[in-house]
Amino acid sequence: MKQFTITSNDSGQRLDKFLKKLMPNAALSLIYKLNRKNNVKVNRKREDNEYKLQEGDNVQLFIKDEEYDLLTIISKPLVQKSDKEGLNRKDIVYEDGELLIVNKNPGVIVHPGDFKTTELSLIAQVQDYLGSKLNSLTFKPSLIHRIDKDTSGIVMIAKTKPSLDVMLKALQSNKIEKVYLAVCLGVPPETRGVIRKKLRRLEHAERENKIVIDNEGGQTAVTHYQVLETEIHGKYSLIECRLETGRMHQIRVHLASLGCPILGDNTYGNKQENAFAKRTYGIGRQLLHASRIRFTHPSKKTEVSYTAKLKEDMAELVGR
């Protein structure tokens, strides 16, 4: 018999969902069969699969050790990590028992599911970094939000299930302020303003899911911007953007709509100018950086703000 005590990280989920996460190699049909045959008990009695586990519940699983081992064994990752591929502590902006804030490097995907690849992801680096520090039966550190592969800067990870729930609710309510810095071609007609243009996702776009402006059928998207510097190398500007909504590729599409595409953006930008910047300055990605984030801490209930330094390629180009 296996016995488990439910903690705050594992509470709030259905019994069958918990068992599936606990035993990833078990088919749902097997889990239902185990429960039907009274091989699963919660607080010494049988509960329906829909039962919501509570903190402090005792789950008993009547199963042979060798069968349990087969159902829980995790295969070796397809990605072989080297020491250089681990999370660099210098990229940690803030960490406590609930949150981890990282200054992500460009070229790193945040989650393997985004690209269906075995390429090393930020979340894999985080889970490797935290290792056995976190004690949970089914919960793993989880992304609170995401940024594009070639966008650098702040990404927040929840280290506990309660903090994830609070932060996701805040994100959905637009209570997390996110500020970005972008190096753009040209200068907007106004030094500051608000871009209100609805965005629609093209479902069958090749290579990358592209976004188009569609003020009739698109989703509301609002970007506040301010020009910080102009005449960078005679043709570029540094623009600060604050998101009121968080649509896919929102800043990239909105700035391009002003005639000021982000330098290095090969989807929405100027390919000729991008090629020039790559030859001349070694720019190999879109120069967009998640610079600052402001939110209410999930347990401290106080407003906090964190800033991530520009990565080397952007910093050198703008002289910061």
User: Containing domain of residue 20, as a range?
Assistant: 2-72
Q: What is the pLDDT of residues 31-42, one digit of tens each?
A: 999 999 999 999
Q: Answer with the one of 37, 72, 107 that is the final residue of a domain.
A: 72
Regarding whether 142 and 221 lie in a shared domain, the answer is yes
Question: 167-218: per-residue pLDDT in tens?
Answer: 999 999 999 999 999 999 999 999 999 999 999 999 877 666 689 999 999 9
Is pLDDT larger for residue 78 or for residue 6?
A: 6
169 within 8 A of 189, measured Cβ to Cβ: no
Residue 164 shares a structural domain with residue 208: yes
pLDDT for 207: 62
Among 231, 226, 230, 236, CA closest to 291: 226
Q: Among the options 10, 16, 148, 265, which is catalytic?
A: 148
**How many structural domains comprise the chain?**
2
- Give the whole-angstrom CA distance, residue 134 versus residue 281: 43
Q: Are 141 and 25 in a shared domain?
A: no
**Do 142 and 7 reside in the same domain of the chain?**
no
Closest CA to 92 of 154, 18, 45: 154
Q: Is 64 exposed, middle or buried (0-12, 13-18, 19+ CB in 10 A)?
A: exposed
Q: What is the mean pLDDT of residues 139-144?
A: 93
Does position 312 have pLDDT exceeding 90, yes or no?
A: yes
Is 57 designated active site?
Answer: no
**Has residue 207 been placed in a domain?**
yes
Cα–Cα distance between 290 and 203 in angstroms, integer?
A: 26
CA distances from 236 to 102, 185, 193, 227, 249 (A): 28, 5, 18, 11, 20
CA distance 154 to 104: 6
- Looking at the structure, do residues 42 and 106 belong to the same domain, yes or no? no
- Domain-embedded: residue 78: no
Phi, psi of 152, deg, nearest 5: -100, 170
Name the 3-class secondary structure at 315.
helix
**Quick check: 220 pLDDT over 50?**
yes
Q: What string of H, E and C letters represents the secondary structure of 3-14?
A: EEECCCCCCCCE
- Does residue 77 lie in a domain region? no
Whether residue 166 sits in one domain with residue 60? no
Instruction: Label the pairing between strands 152-158 and 288-296.
Output: parallel
The CATH number linked to 58 is 3.10.290.10
Q: Model confidence over 86-111: pLDDT tens digits?
A: 889 999 999 999 999 999 999 999 98
What CA–CA distance (Å, rounded) separates 114 from 147?
Answer: 11
